[in-house]
Chains A and B, each alone.
Chain A
């Protein structure tokens, strides 16, 4: 292994390689931080450029963009309550309240450090356990993914806030929006009304940008019109020491960290879902097992730690099936796969023996890249906080512009721009009615995964439901779902008067 590291090191730890990493991480952070632009987009944009580079330089740049992009989302999530990428949705839950309390710098510091640790954790898993994990993960088929999907949907309960009904409603609307377009198995059109643009359905990015960014902008606009004084958030830049939090606070998060890292890595390994889901799941899971779940959402670092650890841990997780089986774990790794294929490298069972230089240069890029990310974000910390001083009247229109650019950049289609307006209005309506938006995102991502795997499973079993419960892995997840739902229903029941209890079901 040491020898392999030396081979990888020689390939990537040179001037050009380091420059690629710095470039990738910086651009990734910028793309991640700006709502509307995402890690996926940064990679899509730079992928064609890497075609003309050597395979190792190309992949180094892409991996660095990935790391920077996933982490960068925390900046706007914490400071403006607009997640920069789908991976930072849960970061807003406690990150923004911290900012409102004047502890924005602390929230950023925590987010940055745990982004770093999350990446490192999953890199270690990737380096030492990838082939073993691959052997297990390949056992996951339609039945198992269906069960995992159902389990993930049950997490909506944790995101619902005060009303389980409202949370379920939001999640259901998300599932419904995801069904628009051609169905994933037989390409039958659903809810397309003959509109060609609707045939390809809605993309996750416009949905996210609309629900979280555009609705936020609409709200700010409304507030600005009726408020007598503009809301000023205190910023204390001078007194920030280090990352803005104490060792004691750091060590209080150790179990939270381990827990979130494992969830993040696991979700990353599963194809089709990545950081966009893992941050929300980790947040909910950590909240559920916390001694003070009621404090979540009011501005405690635990929430930021869970979300930011998990989303970055998903990076290493997503690379496990990519490098060992040639299966992309999320949209970003799907593009990385394309980047490797272009150079005639096909990830798969022989990758670790035939392309040692590439595999280990990816490992080294992840380690060095996350150190660079830590340093760059550390030195940028004060600058980011200073963003809060910018009057929202200047900041939000700029964000609006970026959201528009980002959505058209996605597929080069105007349709996606109109989509952000649609989802923006939906998000605004949700907020007015006190309906949480994050279950929508979970439903939107997981709904199709559940559908596809249910239908595939039924094809495999020729119409029998039995294998869904007789597969041991699927059975465990389904049992966990029952426990999770009963727990949530019970909590809700306790909260309400017995007379009203019947309406909750």
Chain B
């Protein structure tokens, strides 16, 4: 009997330890003991809001969502919880929100890849399947960089060399990904033929560029920043409308005569059928966050991006435009 007691208590200890651990882990998940389920929709938010990030913790999407969550919480007066549901390049998490109750308690934080997923056939839906609230931040820091040993000093040098040696310049990107599209745009605009190769994710491509295994690479500035600071990489152009305030020395592609704009909007959307009032409230709250000085500092230090907010209407306009653009380039994106 005594023995059994020992066994059971030992087991209990194990269970409690794990309970403790998981409880620690879920303090972030937060239980909102005090909230009551209010019927009044005008009372939104009346419970914790879940923001689904369709990727694992630790990436750029996760960072932007969590930074928003941190500042939205005091504004909305409810816990704002980030839930990572990774899989199928963001589709798994998207579907989770698409199928959720449209009560404003569950939202999706995603970016242009949602549209790209439809173009390449990973999903059969894009932003039209959701009620889009607002764009929290626009990353327009896409730059083209080369190794410091490279002979190219300007974008033009690269294009001229590519004209002389068709199919020999190695441009790294993930097939069907956004930077792949940027590469094909450059090819189309200049009539050059690059050898677009897959060299893994952002940091893998940094290594490949460092070792001279690839000739050039397009990525957001933040991804390549350590190598730019150390002088290992040279930036030839930024694909934005205007020069960035954070790295003003880098000329835009446009001012070098190549009109290519690359950007990514991180937007928040609710399941279809959500009360427009909820959407308006969320958009307002996000606008307040985007204007905060602390917020600005967070995104600048982590990803070298300047805050940029688009309200519901502008976000829809942006997404529809982007979709039309991708649709037009569908065959190129799919490598046909």
Question: Which of A42, A321, A339, A347 is B58 in contact with, Cβ under 8 Å?
Answer: A339
Tell whether A390 pairs with B10 under 8 Å between CB atoms, given A186-B335, A459-B198: yes
A124 to B152, CA, bound (A): 40
B122 touches A199 (CB 8 A): yes
* Cα–Cα, bound, A200→B6 (Å): 44
Q: Which of B19-27, B183-191, B309-317 contacts A (4 or more CB under 8 A)?
A: B19-27
From known contacts A27-B24, A338-B58, A351-B226, infer whether A34 and B18 are also in contact, taking CB-CB under 8 Å: yes
A389 contacts the other chain (CB 8 A): yes
Query: Is B322 interfacial (CB 8 A cutoff)?
Result: no
The yes or no answer to B150 lying at the interface (CB within 8 A) is no
Q: Is the CB–CB distance between B210 and A138 below 8 Å?
A: yes
- CB pair B28–A49 under 8 Å, yes or no, is yes
- A159 at the B interface (CB under 8 A): no
Cβ–Cβ < 8 Å partners of B261 in chain A: none
What residues of B have a CB within 8 angstroms of the CB of A469 in the complex? none
Within 8 A of A (CB), among B1-35: 3, 6-8, 10-11, 14-15, 17-18, 21-22, 24-25, 27-28
B225 in contact with A346 (CB, 8 Å): yes
Give the residue name and chain of the B residue nearest to A184 (CB): B198
B263 within 8 A of A: no
A49 to B210, CA, bound (A): 33
Q: Which residues of A contact B122 (CB under 8 A)?
A: 182, 187, 189, 199
Contact call B92/A326, Cβ cutoff below 8 A: no
Contact yes or no, B211 A138, CB < 8 A: yes
- Given A187-B120, A351-B226: A462 and B195 interface contact (C-beta under 8 Å): yes
Evaluate whether A51 and B62 lie within 8 angstroms (CB atoms) in the complex, with A46-B25, A350-B226, A411-B85 already known.
Answer: no
Q: Which residues of B contact A187 (CB under 8 A)?
A: 89, 120, 122, 175-176
The residue in chain A whose Cβ has the minimal distance to the Cβ of B297 is A344
Within 8 Å of chain B (Cβ to Cβ): is A394?
Answer: yes
Q: Which residues of A contact B11 (CB under 8 A)?
A: 390, 394-395, 398
A45, A197, A402, A413: the one contacting B25 at CB < 8 Å is A45
A425 contacts partner chain B, Cβ-Cβ < 8 Å: no
Could you give, for residues 317-345 of chain A, a 1 whenever the CB lies within 8 Å of some chain B CB and a 0 otherwise?
A: 00001000111100000110111011110
Once the chains bind, are A398 and B15 in contact (CB under 8 Å)?
Answer: yes
B198 engages A456 (CB within 8 Å)? yes
On whether the beta carbons of A327 and B85 are closer than 8 Å, the reply is: no
The answer to whether A460 and B227 touch across the interface, beta carbons within 8 angstroms, is no
**Residues in chain B near residue A411, CB distance under 8 A:** 56, 84-87, 92
Q: Is the CB of B198 within 8 A of A337?
A: no
B304 smallest CB distance to A (angstroms): 9
The answer to whether the Cβ of A299 comes within 8 Å of any Cβ in the partner chain is no
Let me know if B199 is at the binding interface, CB within 8 A: yes
**Contact call A460/B84, Cβ cutoff below 8 A:** no
Q: Is the CB of A412 within 8 A of B10?
A: no
Tell whether A386 pairs with B198 under 8 Å between CB atoms, given A341-B302, A349-B226, A398-B15: no
Q: For chain A residues 169-212, which have a beta carbon within 8 Å of chain B?
A: 181-182, 185-187, 189, 196-197, 199-200
Q: Which of chain B's residues has its CB closest to A199's CB? A: B88
Q: Which residues of B contact A30 (CB under 8 A)?
A: 17-18, 21
A126–B120 CA distance with the chains assembled, in angstroms: 42
What residues of B have a CB within 8 angstroms of the CB of A7 in the complex? none
Contact B197–A48 (Cβ < 8 Å): no
From known contacts A51-B66, A459-B195, infer whether A327 and B175 are also in contact, taking CB-CB under 8 Å: no
Bound-state CA distance A412–B54 (Å) is 11
Tell whether A47 is near chain B: CB-to-CB under 8 Å. Answer: yes
- Is there a chain A Cβ closer than 8 Å to B149's Cβ? no
Q: Are B83 and A412 in contact (CB under 8 A)?
A: yes
Complex CA distance for A271 and B203, rounded to whole angstroms: 10
Chain B residues positioned under 8 Å from A46 (CB to CB): 24-25
Please indicate the chain B residues that have their CB under 8 angstroms from the CB of A376 in the complex: none
What separation, in Å, do the CA atoms of A390 and B3 have in the docked complex? 9
Bound: A204/B51 CA distance, A: 26
* A338 & B57 in contact (Cβ 8 Å cutoff): yes
Please give the distance in Å from B54's CB to the nearest CB on chain A.
Answer: 10
CB distance from A302 to the nearest CB of B (A): 30
Q: How far is the CB of B307 from chain A (nearest CB, A)?
A: 15
In residues 280-329 of chain B, which contact A (Cβ within 8 Å)?
A: 301-303
Using CB atoms, name the residue of chain B closest to A34.
Answer: B18
Contacts A349-B230, A462-B195 given: A326-B206 contact, CB under 8 Å? yes
- Given the known interface contacts A30-B17, A326-B226, the answer about A344 and B302 at a Cβ–Cβ threshold of 8 Å is yes
Interface residue total, chain A, C-beta cutoff 8 A? 67
- CB of B222 within 8 A of chain A? yes
B220 to chain A, nearest CB (A): 12
Residues on the B chain within 8 Å of A344, using CB: 301-302
- Greatest chain A CB density within 10 A among B7, B18, B86 is at B18
Contact B88 A138 (CB under 8 A): no
Query: In the complex, are the beta carbons of B7 and A391 less than 8 A apart?
Result: yes
- Say if the beta carbon of B71 comes within 8 Å of chain A: no
Question: 1/0 per residue B213-235: CB within 8 Å of A?
Answer: 10000000010011101101000
**B121 shortest CB reach to chain A, Å:** 8
Chain B min CB distance to A312 (Å): 21
Q: Are B58 and A334 in contact (CB under 8 A)?
A: yes
Q: Is A139 an interface residue (CB 8 A)?
A: yes
A132 CB to nearest chain B CB (Å): 15
Q: Would you call B203 and A326 a contact (CB within 8 A)? A: yes
B252: Cβ under 8 A from any A Cβ? no
Q: Are B229 and A200 in contact (CB under 8 A)?
A: no
Indicate whether B208 reaches chain A with its CB closer than 8 angstroms. yes
Query: A30-B21, A346-B225, A459-B195 in contact; A412/B84 too (CB < 8 A)?
Result: yes
Q: Is the CB of B203 within 8 A of A182?
A: no
| Contact B92 A350, beta carbon cutoff 8 Å | no
* Residues of the A chain whose Cβ atoms lie less than 8 Å from the Cβ of B17: 30
A349-B232, A351-B226, A413-B87 given; A141·B208 CB < 8 A: yes
B138 CB to closest chain A CB (Å) equals: 19
* B204 CB within 8 Å of chain A: yes
Among B87, B89, B176, B203, the residue within 8 A (CB) of A328 is B203
A376-407 Cβ-contact flags toward B at 8 Å (1 or 0): 00000000001101110011001000100100
Give the distance in Å from the alpha carbon of A402 to the alpha carbon of B302 in the complex: 36
Residue of A48, A189, A199, A391 most packed against chain B (CB within 10 A): A48
Taking a contact as CB atoms under 8 Å apart, the answer to whether A412 and B18 are in contact is no
CA distance A405 to B25 in the complex (A): 13
CB of A31 within 8 A of CB of B21, answer yes
Known: A182-B88, A455-B198. 19 other contacts (CB 8 A): A45-B24, A46-B24, A47-B57, A48-B57, A182-B122, A185-B198, A186-B175, A200-B87, A325-B206, A335-B57, A338-B63, A341-B58, A349-B227, A349-B230, A386-B10, A391-B7, A413-B85, A460-B195, A460-B213
Chain B residues close to A by CB (< 8 Å): 3, 6-8, 10-11, 14-15, 17-18, 21-22, 24-25, 27-28, 56-59, 62-63, 66, 70, 82-89, 91-92, 95, 120, 122, 167, 170, 174-176, 195, 197-200, 203-204, 206-208, 210-211, 213, 222, 225-227, 229-230, 232, 301-303, 335
Sample (28) of A-B pairs whose CB atoms are under 8 Å apart: A34-B18, A48-B28, A48-B57, A49-B24, A138-B210, A138-B211, A141-B213, A185-B198, A196-B88, A196-B91, A196-B92, A200-B86, A200-B88, A321-B207, A326-B226, A338-B58, A343-B302, A346-B226, A350-B230, A390-B11, A394-B8, A398-B11, A411-B84, A411-B85, A411-B87, A412-B83, A412-B85, A462-B167
For the complex of A and B, the 8 pairs showing the least CB-CB separation, nearest first, are A338-B58, A348-B226, A200-B87, A344-B301, A45-B25, A199-B88, A349-B230, A459-B197
